[in-house]
Amino acid sequence: MTEAFGLDNRKSTHGHQAHLLIVDDDPGMLASLSPLLEDKGFQVDTVQDGLEACYKTQARYYDLVVLDIVMPGMSGLQVLSWLRDANPEVPVVVISGKSAFKTVRQALRQGAFDYIRKPYDVDHLITTIRQALQHHGYARARAAEQLYLTSSEDFYRRAMETLPDLAFMLDRHGRFLFLTYRIEELLGYRREDLIGQDFRYLMDERDALKASVNHWHDSSPPAPFIQELRLKTRGSERANRDYEVAVHPFTVEPISGPIELIPMPGEVEFVGIARDITERKRAEVEVSYRASHDALTGLPNRTLFKDRLILSIAHARRSNQKLAVMFLDLNRFKTVNDRYGHRVGDQLLQSVTFRLKACLREGDTLSRFGGDEFTLLLPATATAESAKAIGDKLIQTLKEPFVIGSPEVSISLGISIGIALFPDAGETADALVECADVAMYRVKRRGEDSYEFYN
């Protein structure tokens, strides 16, 4: 079967986040698991039968395969057997439902990294996936080391230069003895200019201490490790890049002799692989931002607002200070949605946000609580008078009509504001928000554009 699925078209995913293939005959499981893994920064493809999984791994390279053992047609064990022949370097995590233990044991003997029993905990699955990828990184570093030791110069040159990642070797002081030519493509440096330089020469200054060779000698014998480090690119027009750097101690007879590509000033102590994870890190930041901010206005959502309020309460309690929480509700906003539609309503909310933010001080937090409601945290507010001053500014800034849409329409809004002071109105985040909400509704019932303190 191996011959039927040639691997000539397989390509590396260098420069992207880890690419996973999930194989399971349950479409519901695939539909729920795929977005969860994507939110964790992985690229995910899914298939529902074993034969299609073989075709998928023939067509492209995957960093890891999550494989259900029990499937109709071509079973998970058959797929695993094929993968071990056709693509043995790709780690496989198997999922077992009602499988007998001997079936699971057979999967592990065929090279599966680990197994997880259904129904599984998603966090446990993600941890296992990351452990498998990390273990695979160590294996790649060791493979590069063995290749260096056992290959002739010509074969060694061709093999090392085809690695998708940056391979390097260091002496006991952390100085470069060898780098592949990919250093120029990835970071813009000529490798000849880096030989003899300390590894930290490539480091962003914020990470330089983490890359000290002393850290690599802390254990005896030195242990392998993986760190996420920021590497500098050559030239101001290129931004620094995030790399996952796997460093493996060189535990065999030190290399010095005629087979190196370029003269080495010392003996090899460490061999390493550096993989570009910039896109994965950006995806993680984006996911984190989306989880804590409102998509329409870009303001912190109620979860992030509560976290900041809890921290501010702790600081105010230690410093014997006051703080204020405001609950803001737009007047006449529902009429806008009913008359002009939600598109104009959304544009109006964005314009309101812009004006409200212009009234705030550095350190204040404006949050979209939901719909046309906002919350505002004023930390370290010394008196009620300072909270009143902010309230007056907020009311005043919304008095000017908004011009929205095309064709343009002029819309007048107002605002009702409830204010709760710590510790007078309450001493917890929930209590302060609730008290400010109560005060806001008192203003709302009067039909005024005004504010009121909770009493």
pLDDT at 250: 75
Of 432 and 268, more confident = 432
Run of H or E including 376 = strand 373-378
**Measured distance CA(337)–CA(318) in Å, rounded:** 45
Q: How far is CA 48 from CA 23, 30, 51, 70, 432, in A?
A: 6, 8, 9, 11, 51
Run of H or E including 5 = none
Handedness of CA 337, 338, 343, 347 (dihedral sign): negative
Residue 214 near residue 224 (C-beta atoms within 8 A): no
**Least confident span in 37-41, 138-142, 275-279, 408-412:** 138-142
Which residues are CB-neighbours of 103 under 8 A, at least 6 positions away?
69, 77, 96
Residue 292 near residue 303 (C-beta atoms within 8 A): yes
Kindly tell me if the per-residue pLDDT of 176 is higher than 80.
yes
Kindly tell me if the per-residue pLDDT of 45 is higher than 60.
yes
- Report residue 8's pLDDT band, with 50, 70 and 90 as the boundaries: very low
Percent of the chain with pLDDT over 90: 27
Run of H or E including 106 = helix 101-109
Give me the mean pLDDT over the 237-260 stretch: 66
Determine the CATH number of domain 2-120: 3.40.50.2300
Overall pTM surpassing 0.75 (yes/no): no
- Reduced to 3 states, what is the DSSP secondary structure of residue 439? helix
Burial class (CB in 10 A: 0-12, 13-18, 19+), 57: buried
One-letter-per-residue 3-state SS of 257-298: CCCCCCCCCCCCCEEEEEEECHHHHHHHHHHHHHHHECCCCC
pLDDT at 159: 62
- Reduced to 3 states, what is the DSSP secondary structure of residue 43? strand
**Measured distance CA(264)–CA(408) in Å, rounded:** 72
Angle of helix 384-397 relative to helix 342-358, nearest 10 degrees, comes to 140
pLDDT tens sequence across 373-427:
999 999 977 688 989 999 999 999 999 999 987 778 889 899 999 999 999 999 9
Q: Could you tell me which residues are beta bridge partners of residue 244? A: 228, 275
pLDDT at 259: 40
Residue 367 near residue 379 (C-beta atoms within 8 A): no
- The encoded tokens of residue 106 equal 């057979």
- The encoded tokens of residue 202 equal 């490539």
Of 329 and 335, more confident = 329
Give me the mean pLDDT over the 224-250 stretch: 80
Residue 345 near residue 337 (C-beta atoms within 8 A): yes
**Measured distance CA(202)–CA(210) in Å, rounded:** 12
Question: Hey, which CATH number is domain 139-282, 3.30.230.70, 3.40.50.2300, 3.30.450.20, 3.40.640.10?
Answer: 3.30.450.20
Q: How far is CA 309 from CA 259, 314, 364, 419, 426, in A?
A: 63, 9, 10, 14, 12
User: What DSSP designation does 238 have?
Assistant: S
**Measured distance CA(234)–CA(383) in Å, rounded:** 53
Task: Enumerate the domain spans of the chain.
Answer: 2-120, 139-282, 293-453
pLDDT at 395: 94
Q: Which fold has domain 293-453?
A: Alpha-Beta Plaits (3.30.70)
pLDDT at 160: 64
Report which residue type is found at 315. H
